[in-house]
Structures are given as C-alpha cells and as structure tokens.
Amino acid sequence: MNLEDLEKRLEKVGSDIGQRLEEISQRLDDHLSGKGSTGGASSESQVPQRRGYSTPFWGVALVVIGVILLGNHFDWFDLQIPVIPTALIILGCYLILENR
C-alpha cells in the first residue's frame, strides 16, 4: 500500500463522514422544524405558542418584590410573618393558576 492509496481512502472516508453529517443535520432540522414524519400525524405539528413578552407582569412583579424587600429592610412592615417567603408563595400560586 502506498501513500497515494492511503490519501485516496482518507479522502473517501472524509467525504462519506461529511455526507452523513449533512444528512443527520438535515434530519435534525426537519425534526425540529416539524417537517419530519410524525407517524401518521398531520404534517402541521402542533407547536405550543410562546406567550408574548409585551405584558408588564414581570416588571410589576419585580417592582413589588423590590418594594417588599426595601420595606422589610427599613422595618416598614410590622408583621409577625416572614414577608418575602409569603410573597414568593403567593407569586408562585398565581403563576401556577395562570398557566392552567
């Protein structure tokens, strides 16, 4: 076996690997974009729609949490319950109920 035969074989193996990687990449793109076959399902996959970020919910939530933290630091609240964990629990319950 000479050096030229080895180079030809390496080029063939390299091109085969490149073709396989392109096929895998194409399959992955088709699968992720919903174009691939889904086993009898319609071609239009039902991708869940993302919620728009145009609502001011998170801004308001961060402001409320900030006011609670600041008020707790300056002893504005004379409560016997821990304010921050209570606020986080209420916020979590609200998010769970909103996403049902």
Cβ atoms 60, 66 nearer than 8 A: no
pLDDT averaged over every residue in the chain: 75
pLDDT at 54: 63
How far apart are alpha carbons 29 and 19 in whole angstroms? 15
Q: In whole angstroms, how far apart are CA 32 and each of 8, 40, 87?
A: 36, 17, 38
Whole-number Å distance between alpha carbons of 35 and 37:
7
Which range (13-22, 28-37, 69-78) has the least confidence? 28-37
Q: What is the pLDDT of residues 8-24, one digit of tens each?
A: 888 888 888 888 888 88
At 32 the pLDDT is: 78
Read off the pTM: 0.33
